[in-house]
Amino acid sequence: MIDIQNMKLAECEALSRWIDPRYGFLSPDKFIPALEANREVYKVDCHVLEGYGQDAEFLREKGKEIFPISFNISRTDLEACNIYQKIEDTIARYGLSRDQVHIEITESALNDSSQAMVEAVQHFHDLVGYQVWMDDFGSGYSSLNVLKDYHFDVIKIDMVFLRKFDDRSKTIVRNICRMAKELGIRTVCEGVETQEQFDFLKEAGCNLAQGSLFSPPVPLDELYKKMAPYL
């Protein structure tokens, strides 16, 4: 994720990919729904954070800067385990700080107005230091209600708005950025592929940009080479 104003790498998003010996490369849409249905997805979420801790140890030894990450948790995480304690234990084990870990919750996870999710967002804020981000903003049908009922530090504008980069989409994105600023919420726009899109986001007042214009998803050993112009 690139800071739009200074063109510097601000942080990274941790993504999951499954390389299976039988089925080969599997994207999240192939395995996350099955894990969620069986209340096992928390194991993946905890594994991702554990991997970040291990990466942070490696980077620390190499004298490289450790950027914050955002990673998703599922609604079923709250039911299947004490996700707060698991996150707290992991960051303590690897000498991380809470402000290095940003919790992403997808808009779809909030659509049933679950009291559990309201309490989860509040709980993370009570553990002072964590940021809670709303992922895929604008992809569902209750985005404004979600902003009314939940306090998020950051909203991630869904890539669908840049995929159809017409005047209507631009107007929507521009107004999301303005509304978020008035609410004290920072904005990230996903799916940035062209310089024209980036220039528009800068004009619209968006805070961070993420997309293939800067880098596709890459392993850690490629990240610092790929992102050298933005360090």
Angstrom distance (rounded) from CA 161 to CA 56? 34
Q: Annotate 13-27 with DSSP letters as a single string.
A: E----EEETTTEEE-
pLDDT in tens, 101-153: 999 998 777 766 567 788 889 999 999 899 999 998 987 666 787 888 889 99
- The answer to whether 187 and 207 have CB atoms below 8 angstroms apart is yes
Nearest by Cα to 18 from 29, 2, 6, 7: 29
Number of domains the chain contains? 1
Confidence bin at 78 (pLDDT 50/70/90)? confident
For 167-207, write each residue's pLDDT tens digit.
999 999 999 999 999 999 999 999 999 999 999 999 999 99
What tokens were used for 129? Answer: 């230091």
pTM attached to this predicted model:
0.90
- What angle is formed at CA 94 by the lines to CA 229 and CA 34, rounded to 5 degrees? 85
CB 208 within 8 A of CB 187: yes
Among 41-45, 59-63, 71-75, 129-133, which is the least confidently predicted range?
Answer: 71-75
The phi, psi pair for 141, rounded to 5°, reads: -115, 10
Could you list the residue range(s) of the whole structural domain that residue 158 is in?
2-230
CATH number of the domain within which 62 lies: 3.20.20.450
Which ranges of the chain would DSSP assign to H, the alpha helix? Answer: 28-37, 41-62, 75-80, 83-93, 115-126, 143-149, 160-163, 167-182, 195-204, 220-226
Euclidean distance between CA atoms 101 and 132, whole angstroms: 9
